[in-house]
Amino acid sequence: MLEPLGAYRARVRLYLVRHAEAAPGDPDELRQLTALGKAQARALGELLRDEGLQADAILTSPLLRARETGEELARQLGTKAEPDERLAPGADAEHVRAAVEGRGENVVAVGHQPDCGQIAAELAGGPEPAFPAGGLVVIELE
């Protein structure tokens, strides 16, 4: 007779990224990455690739600077980036959980500050980390 194994809980490794450096401008949603920002995003993508990350999904805020960051990460990781409205400025931990749910075991989410720091603190249960442009925090989610 088979014994029940209990409830299955999926684990997700969340790679929470703040978009790389963007130029000032208006309207805010169309601000592009600077040359330094493009280099930051490329370097982060290379680091993740060299660490062996197999990203199941790369999700970004719909704002241009986040999409450009995600596209550079995707180029380095050999996948595609997808904008997700739930990662727009003002996103919180529940928005991120909803966005990554069912997207695989390794999910990259590109957002904004101060959201990224607040989300990381809530999901990891610790103090708010410093989150510079192009910064990354890795969080294990149940």
Q: pLDDT, tens digit, for every residue of 52-78? A: 999 999 999 999 999 999 999 999 999
5 within some domain: no
Residue 19 sits in a domain whose CATH number is 3.40.50.1240
Is the pLDDT score of 102 beyond 50? yes
Domain span holding position 102: 12-141
| Mean pLDDT for the stretch of residues 68-95 | 98
CA distance 84 to 61: 6
84 within some domain: yes
Structure pTM?
A: 0.92
Confidence of residue 87 (pLDDT cuts 50, 70, 90): very high
